[in-house]
Amino acid sequence: MNIKKMMAQEKVQPFLLQARYGIEKESQRVTLAGDLVHTDHPQNVGDRSFHPYIQTDFAETQLELITPVTESVDEVLAYLEAVHDVAQRSMNEDEMMWPFSMPPALPEKEEDIQIAKLERHADVLYRRYLAREYGKRKQMVSGIHFNFEYGLDLVHQLFLAQAEETSLETFKTRLYMKIARNFLRYRWLLTYLFGASPLSEERYFDEEDRPKEPVRSIRTSHYGYVNKPDVQVSYESLTRYSEDLAENVAQGRLSEEKEFYAPIRMRGGKKVADLFHTGIRYVELRNIDLNPFDRVGIDADEIEFIHLFMLYLLWTEEKLSADEWVAEGNRISDAVSLEHPAEPTAYLAEGQEIFAEMLEMIDELDLAGKELVKSYQAWLEHPEETLAAKILALDEAEGQAVVATKLGRKFYDQAHAHPYQLAGFQEMELSTQNLLFDAIQKGIETEVLDRQDQFVKLQHGAHQELVKNGNMTSKDTYIAPLLMANKTVTKTVLARAGFRVPEGETFGSIETAKKAYPRFAQKAFVIKPKSTNFGLGITIFKGTTSINDFNAGLTLAFGEDSEVIIEEFMPGTEYRFFVIDQKVQAVLLRIPANVIGDGQRTIESLVAEKNADPLRGNNHRSPLEKIQLGEIEKLMLKGQGLQIDSVPEKGQQVFLRENSNVSTGGDSIDVTDETHESYKQLAIDAVASLGAAISGIDLIIPDIHKPYETKADYGIIEANFNPMMHMHIYPYAGKSRRLTLDVLRFLYPEMTI
Amino acid sequence: MNIKKMMAQEKVQPFLLQARYGIEKESQRVTLAGDLVHTDHPQNVGDRSFHPYIQTDFAETQLELITPVTESVDEVLAYLEAVHDVAQRSMNEDEMMWPFSMPPALPEKEEDIQIAKLERHADVLYRRYLAREYGKRKQMVSGIHFNFEYGLDLVHQLFLAQAEETSLETFKTRLYMKIARNFLRYRWLLTYLFGASPLSEERYFDEEDRPKEPVRSIRTSHYGYVNKPDVQVSYESLTRYSEDLAENVAQGRLSEEKEFYAPIRMRGGKKVADLFHTGIRYVELRNIDLNPFDRVGIDADEIEFIHLFMLYLLWTEEKLSADEWVAEGNRISDAVSLEHPAEPTAYLAEGQEIFAEMLEMIDELDLAGKELVKSYQAWLEHPEETLAAKILALDEAEGQAVVATKLGRKFYDQAHAHPYQLAGFQEMELSTQNLLFDAIQKGIETEVLDRQDQFVKLQHGAHQELVKNGNMTSKDTYIAPLLMANKTVTKTVLARAGFRVPEGETFGSIETAKKAYPRFAQKAFVIKPKSTNFGLGITIFKGTTSINDFNAGLTLAFGEDSEVIIEEFMPGTEYRFFVIDQKVQAVLLRIPANVIGDGQRTIESLVAEKNADPLRGNNHRSPLEKIQLGEIEKLMLKGQGLQIDSVPEKGQQVFLRENSNVSTGGDSIDVTDETHESYKQLAIDAVASLGAAISGIDLIIPDIHKPYETKADYGIIEANFNPMMHMHIYPYAGKSRRLTLDVLRFLYPEMTI
C-alpha cells in the first residue's frame, strides 16, 4: 500500500484537506485574584447529567467545555468561543477561567480539592478511585483534547485507490493505527511548539520528585498525569492493542479501559472492542497544553498545523517495527517535554527533517498551508518563539501566577464586554445570538443550518426543533403570521372578536378626504401622511373640529405625501406586549430619541454622552442604537426652536425624533411589573383571537396602572409576528426579560430550564 | 321628527348610502329542454340541514340560493354570481335553472310535484300543510327576497339628530315601521318597473280564476301566492302588527307567523316578538320577480334603484293614517300588477310624482344615482321598456317557454364556460377561486377578507379557519414553509433524514469550478448556469468524464451566467407529488411546451390549435398557459434545426421549451393512479421529515411503475410550500384531482364532505 502514491491520485486530491474536528477543553475556575474557587459548578448551566457543552472534569472546580463535531476550523473555533462566552457568563461574577494547563496554587489539604459533584454515583466512585490511585493534585491539570477525523470522502477515495484491503472498516482501522503509531513517534514536535506547562504553582507536586528547572511541558512529561509505568500497550494492531488493554484491566493495573491515558486514543465505539465492528472512526489527541495566550486555549494556526501534521503522519512511512517505533517516540517525547524551554531541542535535526518532509508533502499534493508550516519551522531554531519559552519569559518578569491572572482577567473582560453578543456568531441577529447562548447554556444541542438566514436547529434527546430569526417556530401556525402581516385584515379580525382598534381610512386625494369631514368632526382623530418619519404633516384633533381646521390639516398632510390617513386618535401611550404561549413575558415602553439637559452641556455633547453607553451601537449590532444628529433630528430640534449647540436647562428632556423606534435611537424601558394584569390578559386574549402563539402586540393605554374597565381604556395598534426580543432583554431602563429563554421553555416544556 | 331635515344634516350626510344587503333567490330546476326535472336536489352540495348558500324552497325542484349579508352591491352580486356558478355546476349536466318567476309547465297530477325532501320532519310537515291550504301549484312560483338594512352609522347618526326617541332600538323600530308602510304604499312602482311574470305556463292555474290577458306580475297580484283575504294585519305600530299576527295565528287563519306572506317583512329576531327587544334590524322585500334577462335574476341597477327607493321611503312623509295608507297601497299594487304590460299605468301621475321627489331628494342630499333614477323614470312613459313588456314581446315572437329555455341555456353555458373560475371572484388566484367554489358548494361559510392578498375566512358552526393563497393554513407550522423556502437547508434536513438529494455546489468562477473536476469525474452530473430558461449552457455528463470535456462544459456554462452549478445528475423524470395530511392526493408529470406534428401543418399552426383549448390562457388566469412563439421558443426550435414554419412529421413531438413549467406553456399530466405506492410513501415520509402538512414535493424517478427499492431509484429535487393546485385540478391530460376539497377536508375533519 503505497500511501504517498494513493494520496497523490487525482481523485483523492480534492478531498485531502477534508476533515472533521471536535474540541474538549478543561479549565480551572478561579477568583479574579487567581485563587481556586470553592464554589460549585455554575447552577444556571442546567443539568450536567446530559449537558453536551459544559461539563465538569475531575474536580468540581474544573470546567470541561466541549464543542460539537464540525467540518471546518472556523466552525469548531466559533463553537469553542461561544461555549466560552456562555460558561464565563454563567459563572459567578467574581470567577474566571485559569488560562494555564497547570493549575493555580492548590489547597494545602488534599481533601479540600472537591471531586466533581456528579449525579451518577459511578462517576463519583471512579473519581474517588483516581484520587486514591494518583492523588487529587495530579488530576487538577487541564488541557485540550482534540478530536480529529479524516473526511469520509477522503477515506473512501483512499480505500478505492488500493486493493489490499477489501473492507472499508478494516482499511480505516489500518489507516488510523498507522496514524496512532506515527503520532506517538513524532508527537514530541507538538510538545516542542505548543508545550505550555513549564512551571507548576504551589502544591501541585506533593513530593520531591519534580522538575528542578523549567521544562517545555510538565503535563506531557512523566511528571504529568500519566499511567503507572507498568501499564504497557502495543499499537501493532487493533487486536493487540485491545488485548493488551484488556490484560491491563484484568491484572488490575487499570480499573477500566478509560483509565488508559494515552496521548492518542482510538475512537469510534463506546469501548475499544466496538472498534472491531465500526472500524476506528476518529482519534482523540490528548497531549495538547492550553495555549494561555488565546482565550479558548488553542488558535486557528495551531489547528491548521495539527491538521497538516495529521496528514503528514498518514503520508510518511514508519521506520521501525510498531512497538519499537512507539517506544522510541515515547522516550523522545518525555525528553523533549523536559527540555528547558529557552534551549534548542536535542532533536533539532529530526525536527528539520519532519518539516522538510511536511513541505515536500505540501508541494507534492499541492496543499494550502505552506507559509504556516514555514513559520512554525522557524521556531525550531528560535526556541524563544515556543509557547513554553514565552510563558517562561513572562514568569521571569512578574511571576507565572500574576501572568495567568492578568490573562484570565483579560479573557474575562472580553467575555463580559458585549453581553448581548455570542462570540463565534456575532454576525447573526442579536435575538439568534441570545437564543444560541441560552440553548448552549441549558444544554440544548444547537446547530446553525444557515447563518445568513438565521436558521437554527435545536435538539434535546430525540426532540428536534427548527427556529428562524429567534422566534419563528413550530409553535405558531403558518396562517397566524400571515394574518399579522396584513394590518388591515388583522384589524378586521380583532374588531370582530370585540377588541378596540382605531378606525381609520387612507385617502389618495384631498377632495375625497375632505368629504370625510362629517364622519370625524365629533371625534378625536389624527390626520397624517401615510409615510412620515418625524412628525411632519401630522395634526391631532381632540374634540369638535371645524371644517376649516379639518381642511387645513389635510392640506398640511398632503403637502408631505400623496396618501393621507385619517385615523381615530387614541389618547394614551403605546406599549409593546410580548406574548408567548399565552403569557405576557414583557411589557415595554419605547420613547423617542432624547437627551436630558444639565444646564451646562450642549445637545450634541449630551447625545455623545448617551451614545457612549456600551448597549448603543449601529445597524442593529447592539440592543440600542446610537442617536444620530442628521437632517431629521436637526429638523425636529428646529421645530422646538433648538439647535445641536443649544444648551437645554437642567432636567429638560429634549426629543430628537418623533417616532419612538429603538432603531432610531429611542429608549426602551421595561414596565412589565408596573403593568396592570388586566392589560396583560387583554393582550393575551387579543393574540389568542389571532390564533398566534408568539406576538408583539402594541396597545395604546392611557393609564397602565389602573385596571382596564371599558374599551375606552385601550386600543390595539397592531400585532407583530417575529417580534424583536433584544430590546426586552437589554432595555435602556428597567428589568431585563430573557425572552429567548421563554422561547426555549415553550419549545421544550419537558425540560426544566 | 322632521326626517328630511335630519337626513340633510352634515353629520348624517356621509352615511346616507351606507347599507347592508342580502339576497335569496329561488329557481326551478329544469332540463335543458325546459321541462321540470324529476331529480333530487343535487347531492354534492352537501347537507341541506345547515347549508348557508344552497337550499330548497317548497319543492324538491326549487333551489333557493342565498348570499351572505354584504356591505356593497358589488359584493352581494359577486356572491350571487358565485352561488349560481356553484349551484349550476353542482346540478346534473342536463339540468339548468328556469330563469322566470313563473314556473315551467307543471305536472298534470299535483302529486307529481315533489315536496322538498328535508331532513327535519317539522319542515316537511309545514310544506304539507301549505300544499293542502294553497295547493302545490301556487308554491312553484319563484322570486327574489331582498334583505335591506340601513347602515348602522346612518341609523345612529339619525338617532343623534332627533330628540323624540331616547332608545336607539325604539327609534330603529319606528324608522322601519315607517319604511314598511311607505313600501306597502308605493311598492307598485317596483312592480311596474321590474314586474316580470306576465304569463303563466300550463297547469300553474288549476281553476278558471286567472288573468285572461298578460299582466305585469301574476306573482305580486292576488293571483300569486298570497294569504287568504281574511288575513289582515295593521302596520300602525310594531305592537299592533305583532298583536294582529298573533290573533291570526290564534284564530287559525295562519298556521304560524311565517305563513304571513307580506311583501315586506320586519326582521331582527327569530320571531316577531323578539323585535321588541332587538328593534327591527332590517327588512325583507319579497315582491321582486326574477329578472329573466340577468342570470342571477337581478342586476346592479335594479339594486341601486331599490336602495334609493328605500331612502326615498324614509325621506317622504306618509299622507294618510297607517291602515288607510297601507290599504291604498295594497289596492294600487294589485291593480298595477294586473295591468297590461305594454300599456301605460293608471298611476302614471303618481309615478311621476315619486320620481320627481326622488330626484329632489337626490339633489337635496347630494346623492349619487341621479342618472340611474332618470333612466328608470323614462320607463314610465315607455312601458315597452319594462321587464314584463319585454318578456311579452319575446313571447309573442316565439313563446315564453322557448324564450325561458333559451335564456336558461345561455346562463347554463356561461356557468360552464370557465369551470376553473368562480364568477364574482375571477380576479383572485385560481386556487382560491376553486377553494371558494368548494366551500360554497359544501356549505362552509366563506368571507374574502382581502381579495388582493387572497385572504379567506371559512366558518362552519363555531369552527373558523383562515386560508391564504388556497392552501396556506393553520395546519402547517410557521417554520415548515420557512424551511422549504430555503432550498439549501431543505436539502440538508432531507439528507440527514436519510433521503437522497442531488449533491451539488455553486461556483462563482471558472477557476474554482475547474478544481472540482476530480470530485465529479466518475459520477453522472450536470453543469448548468445558475439561471437558465431554455437549456442554453447546460451539459450533462453521464459517466467517466475527461478533464477536457469537463472544462469545455464549464466554459459553455460560464458563457451564460457568472454563477454555475455542478450538480449530481439524477436520471429519470421529475414528478410533482402533492402531499396533504400525510396523503398523496396527486402526482403530476409536467412536460415542456410542445406540439405533435401531423405531417401537414406548420409548428405555428399546431401551436395555434393547441392554444385554442379553453383551459389555456394567459397570466395564470387559466389552468394552463398558451404556448408562446417568442425569442426563447424560436431559439429552442433553432437548436433542433427548426423554425416556426417548419412542418413536423406525423407523430413527431417538437419541444418549444427546455423547462417543463406549466407557466411557460408546458403540459400537465396526472399520473396519480399509475404511480407505485412506494413512491407515494416516500413523498409522504420526506414531507413529514420536513414537518410540513401541505407540500408539493418534486421527485426524480426513473420508473414510476416499479416499486422503489434503493436510493438509486429516486432523488428529491425540492419541496414547495403553497404548491399550485389548479394544475392538478385541471390537468392537460389525466384525471382531475380536486385538491381544494382535500384542503377543506383537512381543515374540517368533522364534516363529511
Residue at A359 is within a domain: yes
Over residues B509-536, the mean pLDDT reads: 80
- Cα–Cα nearest to B566, from B506, B502, B500, B495: B506
pLDDT (0 to 100) of residue B277: 82
Asked whether residue A313 falls in the same domain as residue A434, the answer is no
What residues make up the domain containing A556?
A: 503-568
For chain B, what is the mean pLDDT?
94
Which of chain A's residues have a Cβ under 8 Å away from the Cβ of B15? Answer: 519
B688 in reach of chain A (CB within 8 A): no
Give me the sign of the Cα torsion angle A138, A139, A140, A143: positive
Asked whether residue B734 falls in the same domain as residue B715, the answer is yes
Residue at B238 is within a domain: no
> Which residue in A has a C-alpha nearest to residue B690's C-alpha?
A466
Residue from the list B468, B489, B522 with its beta carbon closest to the beta carbon of A479: B468
Asked whether residue B481 falls in the same domain as residue B455, the answer is no
| Element (DSSP H or E) covering residue B264 | strand B264-267
Residue from the list B11, B481, B521 with its beta carbon closest to the beta carbon of A522: B11
CATH of the domain at A532: 3.30.1490.20
pLDDT (0 to 100) of residue A535: 61
Cα A241 to Cα A267, A314, A323, B439, B749, distances in angstroms = 13, 19, 11, 72, 63
Amino acid present at A550: F
Asked whether residue A268 falls in the same domain as residue A346, the answer is yes
Amino acid present at A349: A
Is pLDDT of A418 > 90?
A: yes
- Cα–Cα nearest to B86, from B404, B523, B444, B336: B444
Asked whether residue A437 falls in the same domain as residue A510, the answer is no
Tens digits of per-residue pLDDT, B12-37? 988 899 999 999 999 999 999 999 99
Residue from the list B11, B492, B515 with its beta carbon closest to the beta carbon of A518: B11
Residue from the list B10, B14, B474 with its beta carbon closest to the beta carbon of A478: B474
Tens digits of per-residue pLDDT, A144-169? 999 999 999 899 999 999 999 999 99
CATH of the domain at A219: 3.30.590.20
B641 in reach of chain A (CB within 8 A): no
Chain centre distance of CA B293: 20
Give me the sign of the Cα torsion angle A599, A603, A608, A613: positive
Residue at B297 is within a domain: yes
CB pairs under 8 A between A and B: 116
B472 in reach of chain A (CB within 8 A): yes
Residue at A204 is within a domain: yes
pLDDT (0 to 100) of residue A67: 97
Grid cell of B570 as nine digits? 439524477
B192 vs B387: CA distance, rounded Å = 9
pLDDT (0 to 100) of residue A66: 97
A450 in reach of chain B (CB within 8 A): yes
pLDDT (0 to 100) of residue A272: 84
| Element (DSSP H or E) covering residue B496 | helix B487-496
> Which residue in A has a C-alpha nearest to residue B468's C-alpha?
A479
Asked whether residue B545 falls in the same domain as residue B485, the answer is no
Please state which of the ranges A474-483, B428-437, B555-564 shows the lowest mean pLDDT.
B555-564
DSSP-derived pairing of the beta strands B616-617 and B624-625: parallel
Asked whether residue B530 falls in the same domain as residue B393, the answer is no
A664 vs A658: CA distance, rounded Å = 10
pLDDT (0 to 100) of residue B529: 85
Calculate what percentage of chain A has a pLDDT beyond 70. 99
Calculate what percentage of chain B has a pLDDT beyond 90. 80
B293 vs B301: CA distance, rounded Å = 13
Over residues B362-382, the mean pLDDT reads: 96
- Cα–Cα nearest to A580, from A707, A465, A719, A421: A719
Preferred mutation among B478, B479, B491, B689 to probe A, highest tally of A CBs within 10 A: B478
Question: B263: which residues sit within 8 A by CB, 6+ positions away?
Answer: B183, B184, B187, B220, B285, B286, B287, B333
Is pLDDT of A705 > 80?
A: yes
- Cα–Cα nearest to B185, from B381, B332, B359, B403: B332
| Element (DSSP H or E) covering residue B26 | strand B19-31
Is pLDDT of B532 > 80?
A: no
Tens digits of per-residue pLDDT, A256-290? 888 998 999 999 888 888 888 888 999 999 999 99
Give the residue from A408, A442, A468 where a domain finishes.
A468
Which of chain B's residues have a Cβ under 8 Å away from the Cβ of A466? Answer: 479, 482-483, 493, 691
pLDDT (0 to 100) of residue A686: 98
* Structural domains counted in chain A: 3
Q: Could you please report the per-residue DSSP string of B293-362?
A: TSTTS--HHHHHHHHHHHHHHHHSPP-S-HHHHHHHHHHHHHHHHTS-TTSPPTTHHHHHHHHHHHHHHH
Give the residue from B552, B568, B584 where a domain finishes.
B568
B668 vs B6: CA distance, rounded Å = 63
For chain A, what is the mean pLDDT?
94
Residue at B632 is within a domain: no
Over residues B97-124, the mean pLDDT reads: 93
B217 vs B387: CA distance, rounded Å = 10
Angle of helix A487-496 relative to helix A677-689, nearest 10 degrees, comes to 110
Grid cell of A353 as nine digits? 527533517
| Element (DSSP H or E) covering residue A324 | helix A322-337
Give the residue from A568, A600, A623 where a domain finishes.
A568
Confidence grade of residue B269 (pLDDT, cut at 50, 70, 90)? confident
Please state which of the ranges B72-81, B300-309, B346-355, B710-719 shows the lowest mean pLDDT.
B710-719
Is pLDDT of A533 > 60?
A: no
Is pLDDT of A685 > 60?
A: yes
Residue at B197 is within a domain: yes
A512 in reach of chain B (CB within 8 A): no
pLDDT (0 to 100) of residue B420: 95
Which of chain B's residues have a Cβ under 8 Å away from the Cβ of A153? Answer: 519
Asked whether residue B554 falls in the same domain as residue B701, the answer is no
Is pLDDT of B535 > 80?
A: no
Cβ contact A275:A238 at 8 Å = yes
Cα A535 to Cα A12, A513, A543, distances in angstroms = 66, 20, 20
B534 vs B661: CA distance, rounded Å = 11
Within 10 Å of residue B71's Cβ, how many Cβ atoms? 13
Asked whether residue B295 falls in the same domain as residue B398, the answer is yes
| Interface contact B449-A489, CB threshold 8 A | yes
Residue from the list A468, A515, A691 with its beta carbon closest to the beta carbon of B479: A468
B152 in reach of chain A (CB within 8 A): no
Asked whether residue B538 falls in the same domain as residue B681, the answer is no
The DSSP letter of residue A255 is S
Confidence grade of residue B270 (pLDDT, cut at 50, 70, 90)? confident
Is pLDDT of A701 > 80?
A: yes
Is pLDDT of A725 > 70?
A: yes
Cβ contact A191:A220 at 8 Å = yes
Tens digits of per-residue pLDDT, A301-329? 999 999 999 999 999 999 999 999 999 99
Amino acid present at B696: G
pLDDT (0 to 100) of residue A89: 97
Asked whether residue B333 falls in the same domain as residue B364, the answer is yes
Q: Which residue has the cell 383537512?
A: B746
Is pLDDT of A344 > 90?
A: yes
Tens digits of per-residue pLDDT, A629-674? 998 899 889 989 999 999 999 999 999 998 888 889 999 999 999 9
Helix (H, G, I), strand (E, B) or coil at A593: coil
Is pLDDT of B533 > 80?
A: no
pLDDT (0 to 100) of residue A18: 94
A488 in reach of chain B (CB within 8 A): yes
**Range list of H helices, B366-399:** 370-381, 387-398
Is pLDDT of A208 > 90?
A: no
- Cα–Cα nearest to A574, from A739, A721, A714, A673: A714
DSSP-derived pairing of the beta strands A624-625 and A616-617: parallel
Which of chain A's residues have a Cβ under 8 Å away from the Cβ of B477? Answer: 473-478
Over residues B515-535, the mean pLDDT reads: 78
| Interface contact B478-A474, CB threshold 8 A | yes
B497 in reach of chain A (CB within 8 A): no
| Element (DSSP H or E) covering residue B149 | strand B144-150
Over residues A185-201, the mean pLDDT reads: 97
Confidence grade of residue A534 (pLDDT, cut at 50, 70, 90)? low
pLDDT (0 to 100) of residue A532: 60
Higher pLDDT pick, A215 / B13: A215
Residue at A497 is within a domain: no
Grid cell of A259 as nine digits? 483509565
Asked whether residue B194 falls in the same domain as residue B333, the answer is yes
Is pLDDT of B583 > 60?
A: yes
Residue from the list A12, A14, A473 with its beta carbon closest to the beta carbon of B478: A473
A732 vs A589: CA distance, rounded Å = 10
| Interface contact B455-A481, CB threshold 8 A | no
Which of chain A's residues have a Cβ under 8 Å away from the Cβ of B493? Answer: 449, 466
Confidence grade of residue B273 (pLDDT, cut at 50, 70, 90)? confident
Predicted complex ipTM: 0.89
Residue at B576 is within a domain: yes
A468 in reach of chain B (CB within 8 A): yes
Cβ contact A193:A376 at 8 Å = yes
pLDDT (0 to 100) of residue B361: 97
